[in-house]
Amino acid sequence: MITYFTDYFKNIDYASHTANIEDFISISKLIRKANKSGGKVIIVGNGGSAAIASHVAVDFTKAANIRAITFNESSLITCFSNDYGYEHWVERAIEFYADHNDVVILISSSGMSENILNAAQKAKNMGLPVVTLSGFSFDNKLRKCGDVNLWVDSSKYNVVEIVHQTWILSIIDYLIEQDS
């Protein structure tokens, strides 16, 4: 039992160190540029990644004073999914809600969620910077879609999600620190 938890936390520690630190600085610059030009951060994910998006959107707004939104309203999701298909609802939400100075952060543990992949393509077509967070397979599709791509070297959902949340929160704390 003790070995399980020791190994589990070692996996989280290892996985959290798999990103290039320069990517965090690049993401911070994209967010700061969007904020200074009147843009906002749009953060989207499915399931646990949607919960992460909600949490960090509030922290961007309240703690870092950077406008951020997420698309977790059940009426929006069900309406757009019904009208455009589940695989297209996020791209349509981006089409309706994104402005030209925004930055889009897309989270998918597997990096294979069709609605998130389509959203990445839509944001790129709109000329918006795209940041992706994924895990599982090194060559997952989402990892190839962003301007900056953070990947967690783990195939365990909870490890990937913990690391994603930690990484985004570290960026928020960095931005707060830089402004103080």
Name the pTM for this structure: 0.97
pLDDT tens digits for 150-180? 999 999 999 999 999 999 999 999 999 998 8
Q: Edge-to-edge strand order for the sheet containing 148-151? A: 68-70, 41-45, 103-108, 130-134, 148-151
What mean pLDDT is predicted for residues 17-25? 96
What was the pLDDT predicted at 179? 87
Give the tens place of pLDDT for each residue, 55-100: 999 999 999 999 999 999 999 999 999 999 999 999 999 999 999 9
